[in-house]
Chains A and B, each alone.
Chain A
Amino acid sequence: GQQLNQSPQSMFIQEGEDVSMNCTSSSIFNTWLWYKQDPGEGPVLLIALYKAGELTSNGRLTAQFGITRKDSFLNISASIPSDVGIYFCAGQKMRAGGTSYGKLTFGQGTILTVHP
């Protein structure tokens, strides 16, 4: 099935460093979301973006919805050990008529490792 192109696939960083990851698509999405998934658990929503160009922050996390509506990025500032996990971007499309069932299309994930 279709998945978004997410990069990088993995990152190994030192505690305190900033992190940046992005997601691209060949088609337009009307909503972009970023999730974090820890081993053995379900994805947890970090940030949701609803408008092209929107820049939204949640604590040390900042995400932007690309102007073309085909991409998004997530930044994490001053990383800490508990940031370790897998980060997924996800997009939602509108159906014809302007409605959306809300099904999510996910990227392949970015595995983040933070060394203390």
Chain B
Amino acid sequence: EAQVTQNPRYLITVTGKKLTVTCSQNMNHEYMSWYRQDPGLGLRQIYYSMNVEVTDKGDVPEGYKVSRKEKRNFPLILESPSPNQTSLYFCASSPQTGQGARGYTFGSGTRLTVV
């Protein structure tokens, strides 16, 4: 089954403790992206990647890092999480940049709470 797999689904952590949210897709998609969803703000893009080793900032990149060492994986790294990063996070992929109109595939989301 074609899918984007995010882990974990839920995570509670403490301020300053480094964490990684994993994202993996099995569709050989080149384009991958991370979004955060907050009440009253919709979804906002954090980072994106056009292909292996090619990443760039989205609209709200502060406090986050990403890497794209393999085509299928695009982890989101919070080096020193803070409470304002408490949010619902989504990973999404599409075949290539500019081809999202054919349908982005979203992961099932990660609910992160930083206390």
Tell me if chain B binds chain A: no
